[in-house]
Chains A and B, each alone.
Chain A
């Protein structure tokens, strides 16, 4: 039942592919016609040879002129077949590349509309792979599998037509070969399937074990674990090699060598047939020759089809993965009325908000708080306590299940997504640097952010200082994920980005990484600049940065357990005080005078 289901699904992959090919039908049809023509020419050449053998050579004809003409005709069949095949191949490839391109665009566009949940559920690598690798496999299917199968079928039909014309009876005998070959293919699939899967699994094991060992090499060496580890690895490697050998044996038993065996046996059969017939009828040498020649061509398409069958299997799985993305439902907020006026004052309120990502555990449990325009609210708590969920909801990355979120007394749900996000300045824990120049990374393609604006913004947050030192200044390309910048510099760059877009509300996810002393001070300064005149919600890890907050929310397991100002919270026994004291001890060690300066309030 399950296999039937998956077969159906695979089939839907094929129909999908057909749908996307429709706009290019003309090209594909042209290619098919050309393929048929090419196959026709290919099939013609043994026939021409037969004529040369029978009518000229065997007949002892001395008509050199006619023989030369036949030679020219034979050459023509080869040249035409090659030429048409080349043109066909180019047209086919061109159109299939376009189809793949269309599918990629469609899938990518669709992916961008999917809810955040979708991206959380799968590792980045796998999602990217659907867009690129899997669609590349589809490409292979288009340019490898489908033409090979079509060419194979065309050829087989052509060969059987030619054989029937040569000798109707022998052609029927030759049909016996087909079930033999099909049977061997079936058997091959059955035998090789588990082996191939086993090899893949072993390779994955080898990779996992390599990755882990390499990362932990220092501790492995320190604990003298190398020998044991080598043994474990050797065992996995051994399993792999045994399976590989099995695969080789199955291949040698059933693939090429078997095809050759059947071919030679068929050859013996043809010799026997014509030899026997020559006893009572006239047998043309050319016919024997042509028969042998067609027979040699007969196995080629079979071999190719057999080879492509395993690829087909792979491509179908890949196509399934690609088209699965399209089946995902895009995010939809049922909106009463969309208001696209941006946030004005910047007042914020959470009213009994409950959020669950998986429908079971509550990430936010009955959370209520409000923030007045221009106020600074900090949220602290363990990782997983729900701090980031508050930001996620404000950005409308997720939809909460219960309660209400209000901005300027308007429900968040009623706001236009773009207008909302324009009013919110989200500063990530790990700033995301896009490919492109520094300037691009600040303006993010927003034309209202001119060079002057972005320079002024950079100056305000001390980013100008390091940008000036970069080769090309604002046109510097920091490379993939901002490789050429330090963590602190990336941080400052993202601040400049935020300032340049001048959001009403600032959502700050504080960085946890250690940043060198000088930059650290700049970052602290810049954060104050960022907050100026903006409603700010900050997820904080280091309490030293939030002591002047108007309100601190302490979260635990999705609930707000404590709230108040720094002074108020220090005054009560609780998580905040514990956290503060232990952090204080470490800050002291690093010689952070600013912290030492502010005396903790005695209990």
Chain B
């Protein structure tokens, strides 16, 4: 019930549908009281032998008309009420998805994909059930229950109504007990089932290990034991589950017995007629479903409430990076200035970056290098504004701090290529045109040629229309990197952020791409993270990082003359790669 209160702001958008549904429900409940009454009347007429043919025909016609009306109204309220719950969930799912797209990387560090997906499906389904059949049952069991009781009291006999109600508190108490027990035991059964699933998964996914180490018997034994546990837990569920219907039968039986015996006594005393007793027992039958549903809706709301709380927790999280109120668009001048005194990732103690001061003039080619874990990618992540900077630090573009620039506008200027390229299901063409859906085929092909992937794409049967599976599974690592690179080249961004984007390429392809890039970079700023120093020979400026700091910087000539780490590594790499000739050739 608290769930409804919590969801009131969302439910209120649908109040018209709900209200109309409730009115229809109430009308149905009221109309439902008429046929038993008419039948009772006919029974009385028959028992007095005073039934007229015309009256009978009228009665039958009335019952039939009522039945049709009820059918229509039932259709209406179901359509309205369940329709509202579907609309509600659809809207919430859209909202959740939009919320996801706004969240910053720290959010995705806290929540796994599977967990977030469960929110958007399982949890929303539970909410749909609460908003649909949950509310329906709740309202219906109240409306129908009270309407029937009302009819019993006023159309038949108040005392008898009170008498038949005696068993019901016990029934309600018992069914809520069963509900709790059921919840517990079902939870246990689910747990054993998950464990069984895990046993099977372990064996199937590790089938090679199982065979290599001859573990058949061990796995069989474990699976057997877990399966036995599942059987035991399910039997415990069955023991409670099987109680439910017989209990309802017994208590309703009691109510019927009370109705008949009590009714006999009232008829004896002339308070009631036999027709009224018939009406009464028919009403009693109508009480059955509201009573049974009443217990059921508790568990629905319980589930819905748990799910809604989980969803609220997500909705309540604000993206940590967002536009400030008076954010401006990107300035004309695209010079980048990085001034980071310290930076640590959220929830991390160690500093990721310290004293990073860097100028990247518009149109320049800046290389960043250093060992794995030296903080190169962190610099990119800050330029991409994935995280907020501390007060002592700022990154600006054309003199405007990045956090004063609208995110959308900033991102339009940045084309980022991560080391692990992310491709999406769809065609190769749509993946390249990801950041510029309006691109023509010629533009796409031009970008692909620059990224040295065109020939390979054309070799596929469907060329650019080749459909990639989820995560682009049917391309090799190097092909994926080049598609991602083509995507960046095609975008209108003025700054390319290439994060070790050519690591999976062989040296020849890499050289081609670098050559294309050098020819191309006149127009755009290029920031290139790499572990292969020869890629940086033509860079305007090179930054060497280690443990989150800049240890050396300058252009290639300066650094090689400087006799530092760069010079040493470059020589070694050049020697192994025989780069002397390459440099001469370039």
Contacts and interface: CB of A to CB of B under 8 A. Distances in A.
B173 interface: no
Interface stretch (A5-13, A190-198, A284-292): A284-292
A70 B158 CA distance: 24
Nearest to B111: A214
B201 to A, nearest CB: 5
B75 interface: yes
Interface string B24-64: 00000000000100110011011101010100110110011
B414 interface: yes
20 contacts: A53-B277, A77-B253, A82-B250, A127-B200, A139-B234, A208-B425, A222-B384, A223-B411, A261-B67, A264-B64, A271-B60, A276-B56, A285-B278, A424-B212, A435-B199, A435-B202, A584-B573, A585-B577, A589-B532, A589-B573
A591 B78 contact: no
Given A257-B78, A590-B371, 5 more contacts: A108-B203, A211-B117, A225-B435, A226-B102, A260-B67
A221 interface: yes
B71 A261 contact: yes
Interface string A276-299: 101100010100110011001000
A252 B82 CA distance: 10
Contact of B121 (A108, A207, A221, A245): A207
Interface of B: 35, 38-39, 42-43, 45-47, 49, 51, 53, 56-57, 59-60, 63-64, 66-68, 70-71, 74-75, 78-79, 82-83, 86-87, 89-90, 93-94, 97-98, 100-103, 105, 108, 113, 116-117, 120-121, 193, 196-220, 222-224, 227-228, 230-231, 234-235, 238-239, 241-243, 245-247, 249-250, 252-254, 256-257, 260-261, 263-264, 267-268, 274, 277-278, 281-282, 285, 369, 371-372, 384, 386, 408, 411-412, 414-416, 418, 422, 424-425, 434-435, 437, 470-471, 487, 491, 506-507, 531-534, 569, 572-573, 575-578
Interface stretch (A93-101, A344-352, A465-473, A529-537): A93-101
Nearest to B224: A105
Task: List the 7 shortest-distance A-B pairs measured between CB atoms, nearest first.
Answer: A78-B253, A82-B246, A264-B67, A432-B209, A93-B238, A89-B242, A257-B74
Contacts of A511: none
Nearest to A596: B572
Interface stretch (A153-161, A235-243, A373-381): A235-243
A297 to B, nearest CB: 10
A217 interface: yes
A94 B233 CA distance: 11
Contacts of B86: 241, 244-245, 248
Given A116-B208, A588-B573, A71 B90 contact: no
A215 B67 contact: no
Interface stretch (A54-62, A169-177, A332-340): A54-62
Given A212-B425, A241-B87, A260-B71, A397 B260 contact: no
A395 interface: yes
Nearest to B491: A223
Centre residue among A224, A245, A590 by max chain B CB count within 10 A: A224
A591 B424 CA distance: 36
B509 to A, nearest CB: 11
Majority SS at the chain A contact face: helix
Contacts of A224: 408, 411-412, 435
A435 B101 contact: no
B39 A271 contact: yes
A267 to B, nearest CB: 6
Interface in A181-217: 203, 206-208, 210-217
A133 B412 CA distance: 47
A108 B78 CA distance: 45
Contacts of A397: 208, 211
Interface of A: 42, 45, 49, 52-53, 56-58, 60, 62, 67-68, 71, 74-75, 77-79, 81-83, 85-86, 89-90, 93-94, 97-98, 100-101, 104-105, 108-109, 111-112, 116, 119, 124, 127-128, 131-133, 136, 139, 143, 203, 206-208, 210-226, 228-230, 233-234, 237-238, 240-241, 244-245, 248-249, 251-253, 256-258, 260-261, 264-265, 267-269, 271-272, 274-276, 278-279, 283, 285, 288-289, 292-293, 296, 395, 397, 418, 421-422, 424, 426, 428, 432, 434-435, 444-445, 480-481, 497, 501, 514, 578, 581-582, 584-586, 588-591, 596, 600
A82 B247 contact: yes
Nearest to B253: A78
B204 A111 contact: yes
A603 to B, nearest CB: 8
Given A57-B267, A89-B238, A581-B577, A104 B56 contact: no
Given A67-B261, A119-B207, A272-B60, A219 B416 contact: yes
Contacts of B98: 226, 230
A62 B79 CA distance: 52
